[in-house]
Amino acid sequence: MADLGVMALLLGLALSAYSAIGAIIGEKIGMAALVVSARRALYMTTVTAIVASGALINAFVQNDFSIAYVADHSNTLMDRAFVWVAFYAGNEGSLLYILLALSVISAISVWFAPKRLARSMPWTIAILAIIQLFYFGVLAFVASPFELLATVPLEGRGINPLLTPPGMFSHPPLLMGGLIGVTIPFAFVSGALIAGNYGDDWIDVARVSAIITWGVLGTGMLLGAWWAYTILGWGGYWAWDPIENVALMPWLVMTAFIHSIMVQKRRGMFRMWNVALLNIAFVLAQLGMFINRGGPVVSVHSFAASTLGTIFLLFMMVSLVFAFALFLWRMPQLKSDRAMESFVSREASFLINNFLFLAVMGVTLWGVLFPVFSDLARDVSVSVSAPYFDRVNGPVLLGIVVMMGIGPLLPWRKTSARSMKQWFVWPIIVGLITIGILVALGIQRPVAIFSFGVLAFVATAIGEEWWRGTAARHRSGDNWALAWWRLVNGNRPRHGGYIVHISILMLALGIIGTNFYQQRTNGSLALGESLVIDSYRIEYVDTFDSSRPDRIAQWAEMTVYQIDPDDYKQEISFAKAQGSSGFTLKDSTLRPNDELIDTIEPWHGFYIDFNMASVRSGIRSTVVEDLYVIPRDFLADGRVSLAVSINPLAWWLWVSGPFFIIGTMVALWPQAAVERRPARKRLKGESEGEL
């Protein structure tokens, strides 16, 4: 199968080179058959990428350890279900996966491209083919997943244990697919600019492909956070790790783009700005590839042993120069149809929101690159950690949430004082009431309280929009549910956007809760002992082994009780005096109001072949808070060492995911056609060939 894989990669390399050259020459000399042939070559690269991927997957299924990549990432003990994960578990396989994703989405987007873009399609095809050419070249000559071993081992090394949880079936593919997906809107817009198509013909293709990419990337990041929280067992979900950051940055820029493209669509403004945003997103995606493939920044996610850094750095530099040279060349033709009339208008709010997104991106980029600059300039290795990102990005992100409430309430062009009063009064009142209630309840931390007020303001703004629209339909005879459904259906991009905004509010709720109100304690327990934190008592009742040939694993069975803090007054006072959030109890006698509410089974494993420890936390999750128990180690004296935390509102982080996906899909769902297209036969007659 290695031979087939190598042949498919070499063929793909030749086809993508032909496609790029054929499309450009065909367009230049006006030879339609050559352009058609180039387009078909692009489709065939998809076939070759599928064949190469199939060959690698088949090698995993067959346990073909003559292929180094297969021997490195699987063994005969590996469940066959993990073949898919093993496929992209290493550097070479993940590159092949990226190529597969790129070629498939390239073929789909070219196939469905609107006819009005026919003149720019050769250029779009050429750009897509050149990017594919790069990946085919890297896979064929530098990082081949089909490299053979001189001596075939009897057994493989096995799959990285961190990649075996179910989330790994979707998190890496979505993240890599999202990053490479930025290529599609970039290629369409660049193609249009090269061809001299300065109008708004590319808006719909760019918007749809950008939203798909943005949704995929966002879902991938959220799944990654969930994986970190539930599987990695370090107690958090976002560490501002360089690889997390390089996925976040293009996502932020794409978020800015999918907002400002609406201004171009509706008002004919921001054309230049939108092209610049797509360019930045594309270059940032390439930066992500560079850092992930042996770039200079160390991350737990990256393929650190890779030597591909220089190649990807060069490709990123070429992308940067190409994108912005093209932009500067065509800039004079990209002027807006009209100027902004007022700074209190929807378009102005979109612009402010764009600046805020770019500010977060800039801060994050600086945090990622600062260690590199420091190393180069002073020969001193430094690392930029979470507090920098939290402190600088936190207020800007809050500003984005505020704009999320203000923007949709402002009309296009300009706003009158009357309409400001009409739309803003209720959201402001509800925001202030929320702050008042939290203060009255004795909740601490002013910044968090203000943030909760902001969330209430935005939620009320969305609710008010929906209420008015639904009530208007209800008055015309629809029942409430149908009225709301018709409201959403009437303008899906807008109301899908609101659903996404709700998901962001949920996410913000979880972030504020876990960042401002988390409680932590550590302790080690012998059987029968308990650890008390806040209103929970966790008793260590049993332990058992579940070792397998590839791992040594030990489980702890723990019962969780809800306690009445008054029953533990003395111990709690003592712990507080020591500056601790919790304490251990040697006595197993329960107090009068202790109530059994759950049993959790955290475990700690060690994977011999990988010399790697892996932990599964015990989590009791509710709408209000999570009880999070990390078994750090099982000690020789029979005790278990624990890190326990209470993570308020963490549940909302994960509930936001489905809302994010649903909102994105609603926003993407096509509107009903205003006008039926002419019959196919007639269209064919008009289309003058295949282009």
Q: Confirm or reject binding of residue 51 to other proteins (CB under 8 A).
A: yes
Q: How far is the CB of 40 from other proteins (least distance, A)?
A: 5
Q: How far is the CB of 659 from other proteins (least distance, A)?
A: 14
Name the one residue in this structure whose structure tokens are 């089909």: 146
Instruction: Report how many residues bind other proteins under the rule CB under 8 A.
Output: 85
Considering only 28, 33, 439, 566, the residue that binds other proteins (CB under 8 A) is 33
Spatial distance between the Cα atoms of 275 and 277, rounded to a whole number of angstroms: 5
Q: How far is CA 451 from the centre of its chain?
A: 23
Q: Which is nearer to other proteins, 43 or 450 (CB)?
A: 43
Site string for other proteins, 326-365 (x = CB under 8 A): --------------------x-------------------
Tokens of 622: 């509710």
Q: Which is nearer to other proteins, 226 or 426 (CB)?
A: 426
Q: Confirm or reject binding of residue 413 to other proteins (CB under 8 A).
A: yes
Decide: 11 and 64 in contact? Cβ < 8 Å: no
Spatial distance between the Cα atoms of 571 and 509, rounded to a whole number of angstroms: 32
Binders of other proteins among residues 421 to 460 (CB under 8 A) are 422
H/E element, 605:
strand 603-607
Site string for other proteins, 597-616 (x = CB under 8 A): --------------------
Q: Which is nearer to other proteins, 79 or 688 (CB)?
A: 688
Q: How far is the CB of 258 from other proteins (least distance, A)?
A: 6
Q: Which is nearer to other proteins, 114 or 565 (CB)?
A: 114
- Cα dihedral: 297, 301, 303, 309 (round 10): -30
Considering only 486, 520, 591, 639, the residue that binds other proteins (CB under 8 A) is 486
Q: Which is nearer to other proteins, 8 or 368 (CB)?
A: 8
Considering only 178, 250, 407, 431, the residue that binds other proteins (CB under 8 A) is 407
Binders of other proteins among residues 653 to 672 (CB under 8 A) are 663-664, 667, 671-672
Q: In what order do the strands lie in the sheet with 640-648?
A: 519-525, 640-648, 625-634, 618-621
Spatial distance between the Cα atoms of 682 and 272, rounded to a whole number of angstroms: 37
Decide: 558 and 618 in contact? Cβ < 8 Å: yes
Q: How far is the CB of 684 from other proteins (least distance, A)?
A: 11
Q: Confirm or reject binding of residue 287 to other proteins (CB under 8 A).
A: no
Q: Confirm or reject binding of residue 395 to other proteins (CB under 8 A).
A: no
Task: Name, in order, each residue with C-beta under 8 angstroms of 188's C-beta and a sequence gap of 6 or more.
Answer: 109, 113, 117, 120, 124, 202, 205, 206, 209
Q: Confirm or reject binding of residue 686 to other proteins (CB under 8 A).
A: yes
Considering only 412, 426, 516, 610, the residue that binds other proteins (CB under 8 A) is 412
Q: How far is the CB of 428 from other proteins (least distance, A)?
A: 18
Considering only 20, 70, 258, 507, the residue that binds other proteins (CB under 8 A) is 258
Binders of other proteins among residues 189 to 248 (CB under 8 A) are 199-201, 211
Q: At what angle do helices 183-194 and 91-111 cross, to 10 degrees?
A: 50
Q: Confirm or reject binding of residue 386 to other proteins (CB under 8 A).
A: no
Tokens of 443: 């909740």
Q: How far is the CB of 427 from other proteins (least distance, A)?
A: 14
Q: Which is nearer to other proteins, 131 or 458 (CB)?
A: 458
Binders of other proteins among residues 488 to 527 (CB under 8 A) are 489-491, 493-494, 496-498, 500-501
Decide: 412 and 269 in contact? Cβ < 8 Å: no
Q: Which is nearer to other proteins, 34 or 642 (CB)?
A: 34
- Amino acid occupying residue 410: L
Tokens of 34: 């050559």
Tokens of 43: 């489709």
Q: Confirm or reject binding of residue 691 to other proteins (CB under 8 A).
A: yes
Tokens of 76: 């005969």
Pick from 81, 278, 245: nearest CA to 168: 81
Spatial distance between the Cα atoms of 554 and 502, rounded to a whole number of angstroms: 41
Decide: 583 and 610 in contact? Cβ < 8 Å: no
Considering only 222, 356, 454, 487, the residue that binds other proteins (CB under 8 A) is 487
Binders of other proteins among residues 55 to 114 (CB under 8 A) are 55, 114
Q: Which is nearer to other proteins, 46 or 245 (CB)?
A: 46
Query: What's the Cα-to-Cα distance from 354 to each of 175, 253, 379, 403, 607, rounded to whole Å?
Result: 23, 8, 36, 10, 46
Q: What are phi and psi for residue 563, nearest 5 degrees?
A: -115, 165
Q: How far is the CB of 42 from other proteins (least distance, A)?
A: 10
Q: How far is the CB of 210 from other proteins (least distance, A)?
A: 10
Decide: 483 and 470 in contact? Cβ < 8 Å: yes
